[in-house]
A and B are shown apart, each in its own frame.
Chain A
Amino acid sequence: MKFLVAIILTALLAFISGLFLPWWGVAITSLLVAVIIHQKAGKAFLSGLLGVLLLWAGLAWWIDIKNNSVLSTKIASVLPLGGSAIMLILVTGLIGGLVAGFAAMSGSFLRASNKS
Chain B
Amino acid sequence: MRTVPFLISAAVTAGLVFALNKQWGPIPPMGKFLSPQHGVWQNAEPAGQSFDADLSFADLKGKATVYFDERLVPHVFAENDEDLYFIQGYLHAKFRLFQMDLQTKAAAGQASEIAGKKAINFDKEQRRLGMVFAAENAMKEVEKDPTTKAMFDAYTKGINAYISSLKEAELPLEYKLLNFKPEKWSNLRTALLLKMMAKMLSSGTESDLANTNAQAVFMPDELKLLYPQVHDSLLPIVPKGTSFDKPGIVPVQPLSADSLYFGKKEPVTAFENSKPDINNGSNNWVVAGSKTQSGAPILCNDPHLELSLPSIWYEIQLQTPTSNTYGVSLPGSPFIIIGFNDSIAWGVTNAQRDVKDYYEIKFKDKTRQEYWYNGQWQKTTLKEEIIKVKGGADVRDTVAYTVFGPVMFDESFQGTDSVGKGRNLAVRWVAHDPSNEGITFYKLNRAKNYDDYEAAIKTFECPGQNFVFASKAGDIAIWQQGKFPARWNRQGLYVMPGEDTSYQWQGFIPQAENPHSKNPTRGYLQSGNQRPVDSTYPYFIPGSYITPRGITIDNRLAAMKGITPTDMMALQNDYFNTLAEDARSIMLGYVKENELNSSEKKYLDIFRNWNLLATPDSKGQTVYQCWWDSLEVEVWKDELSKVKPEAPWPQRQTLLELLKKDTAATFIDNVNTPQRETLYDVVTAALKKASVSLAKHEADGKLEWTKFKNPTVYHLLKDALPAFARKGLNVGGNGDIVNAITHSHGPSWRMIVQLSAQTEAYGVYPGGQSGNPGSKFYDDYINNWVEGKYHKLWFMREGDRTDKNIKWTMKFKNEKM
Residues of chain A having any CB pair with chain B under 8 Å: 15, 18-19, 22-24, 26-27, 31, 41, 55-56, 59-60, 63-64, 66-68, 70-75, 77-78, 83, 88, 91-92, 95-96, 98-99, 102-103, 105-106, 109-110, 112-113, 116
* Partner of B5 from A24, A41, A73, A98 at Cβ < 8 Å: A41
Chain A positions within 8 Å of B46 at CB level: 63, 66-67
9-residue interface stretch from B14-22, B62-70, B75-83, B620-628: B14-22
Chain A positions within 8 Å of B6 at CB level: 106, 109-110, 112-113
Question: Are the CB atoms of B44 and A96 closer together than 8 Å?
Answer: no
Question: Are the CB atoms of A71 and B774 closer together than 8 Å?
Answer: yes
Determine if B393 is an interface residue (Cβ-Cβ < 8 Å): no
Determine if B38 is an interface residue (Cβ-Cβ < 8 Å): yes
Known: A70-B776, A113-B3. A106 touches B13 (CB 8 A): yes
Question: Are the CB atoms of A67 and B44 closer together than 8 Å?
Answer: yes
Please report the C-alpha to C-alpha distance between residue A73 and residue B43 in the assembled complex, in whole angstroms: 13
Determine if B45 is an interface residue (Cβ-Cβ < 8 Å): yes
9-residue interface stretch from B27-35, B206-214, B545-553: B27-35
Nearest-neighbor residue (CB-CB) of A98 within chain B: B16
Known: A71-B774, A116-B1. A92 touches B36 (CB 8 A): yes
CB distance from A38 to the nearest CB of B (A): 11
Closest 4 CB pairs of A and B: A71-B774, A18-B37, A77-B723, A109-B6
Chain B positions within 8 Å of A75 at CB level: 40, 723
* Partner of B34 from A18, A68, A92 at Cβ < 8 Å: A92
Nearest-neighbor residue (CB-CB) of B715 within chain A: A74
Determine if B658 is an interface residue (Cβ-Cβ < 8 Å): no
Chosen A-B contacts, 11 in total, with CB atoms closer than 8 Å, are A27-B13, A55-B36, A59-B36, A60-B36, A70-B776, A78-B721, A105-B9, A106-B6, A109-B10, A110-B2, A112-B6
Nearest-neighbor residue (CB-CB) of A88 within chain B: B34
Determine if B459 is an interface residue (Cβ-Cβ < 8 Å): no
Nearest-neighbor residue (CB-CB) of A91 within chain B: B34
Chain A positions within 8 Å of B3 at CB level: 109, 113
CB distance from A14 to the nearest CB of B (A): 9
Question: Are the CB atoms of B40 and A71 closer together than 8 Å?
Answer: yes
Chain B positions within 8 Å of A109 at CB level: 2-3, 5-6, 9-10
Nearest-neighbor residue (CB-CB) of B777 within chain A: A70
Chain B positions within 8 Å of A88 at CB level: 34
Max chain B C-beta neighbours (<10 A), residue from A26, A88, A98, A99: A99
* Partner of A66 from B20, B40, B43, B48 at Cβ < 8 Å: B48
Please report the C-alpha to C-alpha distance between residue A56 and residue B36 in the assembled complex, in whole angstroms: 6
> Size of chain B's interface in residues, with CB distance under 8 A?
43
Known: A24-B31, A113-B1. A99 touches B774 (CB 8 A): no
Max chain A C-beta neighbours (<10 A), residue from B30, B31, B37: B37
Please report the C-alpha to C-alpha distance between residue A78 and residue B30 in the assembled complex, in whole angstroms: 12
Nearest-neighbor residue (CB-CB) of B5 within chain A: A109
CB distance from B437 to the nearest CB of A (A): 36
Known: A67-B774, A95-B20, A109-B5. A22 touches B32 (CB 8 A): yes
Nearest-neighbor residue (CB-CB) of A72 within chain B: B44
* Partner of B35 from A56, A66, A72, A103 at Cβ < 8 Å: A56
CB distance from A114 to the nearest CB of B (A): 9
Determine if B377 is an interface residue (Cβ-Cβ < 8 Å): no
CB distance from A76 to the nearest CB of B (A): 8
Chain A positions within 8 Å of B43 at CB level: 71
Question: Are the CB atoms of B39 and A71 closer together than 8 Å?
Answer: no
Chain A positions within 8 Å of B16 at CB level: 98-99, 102
Question: Are the CB atoms of A112 and B2 closer together than 8 Å?
Answer: yes
Question: Are the CB atoms of B20 and A99 closer together than 8 Å?
Answer: yes
* Partner of B47 from A15, A67, A72, A99 at Cβ < 8 Å: A67
Please report the C-alpha to C-alpha distance between residue A21 and residue B103 in the assembled complex, in whole angstroms: 32
Please report the C-alpha to C-alpha distance between residue A112 and residue B173 in the assembled complex, in whole angstroms: 42
Chain A positions within 8 Å of B31 at CB level: 23-24, 95-96, 99
Please report the C-alpha to C-alpha distance between residue A67 and residue B5 in the assembled complex, in whole angstroms: 43
Chain A positions within 8 Å of B722 at CB level: 77
Chain B positions within 8 Å of A55 at CB level: 36
Nearest-neighbor residue (CB-CB) of A71 within chain B: B774
* Partner of A102 from B13, B35, B39, B168 at Cβ < 8 Å: B13
Nearest-neighbor residue (CB-CB) of B6 within chain A: A109
Chain A positions within 8 Å of B721 at CB level: 78
Question: Are the CB atoms of A95 and B17 closer together than 8 Å?
Answer: no
Question: Are the CB atoms of B35 and A18 closer together than 8 Å?
Answer: yes
CB distance from A75 to the nearest CB of B (A): 6
CB distance from A42 to the nearest CB of B (A): 11
Determine if B244 is an interface residue (Cβ-Cβ < 8 Å): no
CB distance from A111 to the nearest CB of B (A): 8
Question: Are the CB atoms of A99 and B40 closer together than 8 Å?
Answer: no
Determine if B41 is an interface residue (Cβ-Cβ < 8 Å): yes
Determine if B724 is an interface residue (Cβ-Cβ < 8 Å): yes
* Partner of B723 from A24, A83, A102 at Cβ < 8 Å: A83
Chain A positions within 8 Å of B30 at CB level: 95
Question: Are the CB atoms of B32 and A99 closer together than 8 Å?
Answer: no
Please report the C-alpha to C-alpha distance between residue A99 and residue B16 in the assembled complex, in whole angstroms: 6
Please report the C-alpha to C-alpha distance between residue A45 and residue B17 in the assembled complex, in whole angstroms: 16
Question: Are the CB atoms of B32 and A23 closer together than 8 Å?
Answer: yes
Please report the C-alpha to C-alpha distance between residue A113 and residue B7 in the assembled complex, in whole angstroms: 11
Please report the C-alpha to C-alpha distance between residue A109 and residue B4 in the assembled complex, in whole angstroms: 9
Please report the C-alpha to C-alpha distance between residue A51 and residue B751 in the assembled complex, in whole angstroms: 54
Question: Are the CB atoms of A23 and B39 closer together than 8 Å?
Answer: yes
Known: A71-B774, A74-B724. A95 touches B13 (CB 8 A): no
Question: Are the CB atoms of A74 and B21 closer together than 8 Å?
Answer: no
Please report the C-alpha to C-alpha distance between residue A106 and residue B3 in the assembled complex, in whole angstroms: 10
Question: Are the CB atoms of B17 and A68 closer together than 8 Å?
Answer: no
Please report the C-alpha to C-alpha distance between residue A24 and residue B19 in the assembled complex, in whole angstroms: 11
Contacts A27-B13, A102-B12 supplied; 13 other A-B pairs, CB < 8 Å: A27-B17, A60-B34, A63-B42, A63-B46, A64-B44, A67-B44, A71-B44, A71-B773, A74-B724, A75-B723, A92-B41, A95-B30, A98-B16
CB distance from A21 to the nearest CB of B (A): 9
Nearest-neighbor residue (CB-CB) of A77 within chain B: B723
Please report the C-alpha to C-alpha distance between residue A96 and residue B642 in the assembled complex, in whole angstroms: 62
Question: Are the CB atoms of B36 and A63 closer together than 8 Å?
Answer: yes
Question: Are the CB atoms of A66 and B9 closer together than 8 Å?
Answer: no
Please report the C-alpha to C-alpha distance between residue A95 and residue B721 in the assembled complex, in whole angstroms: 23
Nearest-neighbor residue (CB-CB) of B168 within chain A: A22
Determine if B197 is an interface residue (Cβ-Cβ < 8 Å): no
Please report the C-alpha to C-alpha distance between residue A97 and residue B306 in the assembled complex, in whole angstroms: 43
Question: Are the CB atoms of A106 and B10 closer together than 8 Å?
Answer: yes
Chain B positions within 8 Å of A74 at CB level: 723-724, 773-774
* Partner of A24 from B21, B773, B776 at Cβ < 8 Å: B21
Chain A positions within 8 Å of B773 at CB level: 70-71, 74
Chain A positions within 8 Å of B35 at CB level: 18, 23, 26, 56, 92, 96
Please report the C-alpha to C-alpha distance between residue A73 and residue B34 in the assembled complex, in whole angstroms: 14
Chain A positions within 8 Å of B9 at CB level: 41, 102, 105-106, 109
CB distance from A79 to the nearest CB of B (A): 8
Determine if B177 is an interface residue (Cβ-Cβ < 8 Å): yes
Known: A83-B723, A95-B20, A105-B9. A67 touches B45 (CB 8 A): yes
Please report the C-alpha to C-alpha distance between residue A22 and residue B20 in the assembled complex, in whole angstroms: 12
Nearest-neighbor residue (CB-CB) of B34 within chain A: A92
Chain B positions within 8 Å of A41 at CB level: 5, 9
Chain A positions within 8 Å of B23 at CB level: none
Please report the C-alpha to C-alpha distance between residue A113 and residue B424 in the assembled complex, in whole angstroms: 73
Determine if B654 is an interface residue (Cβ-Cβ < 8 Å): no
Question: Are the CB atoms of A22 and B10 closer together than 8 Å?
Answer: no
Determine if B775 is an interface residue (Cβ-Cβ < 8 Å): yes
* Partner of B41 from A19, A60, A98, A113 at Cβ < 8 Å: A60
Max chain A C-beta neighbours (<10 A), residue from B2, B16, B30, B35: B35
Please report the C-alpha to C-alpha distance between residue A98 and residue B30 in the assembled complex, in whole angstroms: 12
Please report the C-alpha to C-alpha distance between residue A77 and residue B774 in the assembled complex, in whole angstroms: 13
Question: Are the CB atoms of B177 and A66 closer together than 8 Å?
Answer: no
CB distance from A88 to the nearest CB of B (A): 8
Nearest-neighbor residue (CB-CB) of A73 within chain B: B723
Max chain A C-beta neighbours (<10 A), residue from B13, B40, B721: B13
Please report the C-alpha to C-alpha distance between residue A74 and residue B39 in the assembled complex, in whole angstroms: 15
